[in-house]
Amino acid sequence: MTTRLAALSFVLVACGACGDDGGGAAVDAPPITVDIDNGSCGDQLRFTGEYVDWDVDARFCGVADALFEVQGNGAMDTTAPNGRFDLCIASAPAQVLLDITPAAANSQCTTPASDYTLPGIAVATKAVILGGGFWSGRNFTTARQASLGVTLDPTKAHVFVHVAGATPRAVALAAAHGPTQAVVATTWAAGDTGHEVFFPNVDVGSGTTMLSVTGGAIGTGSIPVAAGKITNVTVISN
């Protein structure tokens, strides 16, 4: 989707839907004006980003041939070798969810050779897209899972948060979960502050939990969680 058919200028203003990191789909955001290349999506919204390997900060590796499919819609795209995807989603909802199904083949660029087995959920947040936040999701191979430092419970969910913006922030979930891990520079370590933060073994509860960011961020609020899946969320730190 490389043809520029329209450049849409959007203005996001602080309003009743914007607030603290608390209830519902609330979004922390100062007024932001951005210019979005909506491609050929017309009255829909262009959702594009990357799906990459767990240790991409140390060595780039895209997750190829993963299927992104909009829940209840059928729109889909398959990731390129560098992990990039590009598709159109409905512009009205504040949040659109996509199922992520990794390819059955082994990773093209990890050692030892291994595949990505955990499916995922991509959270496409309208305010993040219009705010210019680059969406980034991750997955780990079966071999890498053994060295995560935590045993993943198949009855629990897992949450990966990409923090776009100049300043890494502390990220929190309302649901109970295992010890958090974060990337500050290029490697994962214990902690909840970084540009990437991972929550393993999240209690599924009713199927949602609240995501918050210290200091505020666009894209916080209610997110889905499902047993045996990684929920991938991007926020923009203030």
| pLDDT > 50? residue 27 | no
Mean pLDDT for all residues in the chain: 87
Question: Tell me, what DSSP letter sits at residue 33?
Answer: E
pLDDT at 238: 81
Reported as a pLDDT band with limits 50, 70 and 90, residue 37 is low
Q: How far apart are CA 88 and CA 235, in angstroms?
A: 20
Tokens, residue 113: 């050779």
pLDDT at 166: 79
pLDDT at 119: 98
pLDDT at 70: 98
pLDDT per position as a tens digit, 157-211: 999 999 998 788 899 999 999 999 999 999 999 999 999 999 999 999 999 999 9
pLDDT at 165: 84
Q: Where are the domains of the chain?
A: 7-237
Quick count: other Cβ atoms within 10 Å of Cβ 39?
20
Reported as a pLDDT band with limits 50, 70 and 90, residue 36 is low
Reported as a pLDDT band with limits 50, 70 and 90, residue 140 is very high
Tokens, residue 74: 């059928």
| pLDDT > 80? residue 235 | yes
pLDDT per position as a tens digit, 71-122: 998 899 999 999 999 999 999 999 999 999 999 999 999 999 999 999 999 9
Amino acid letter, 108: Q
Write down the pTM of the prediction: 0.85
Give burial (CB, 10 Å; 0-12/13-18/19+) of 119.
middle
pLDDT at 168: 86
Give the CA distances from residue 223 to residues 145, 165, 173, 178, in Å, rounded to whole numbers and listed in that order.
23, 20, 10, 17
| pLDDT > 60? residue 125 | yes
Reported as a pLDDT band with limits 50, 70 and 90, residue 21 is very low
CA 15, 21, 23, 24 dihedral sign is positive
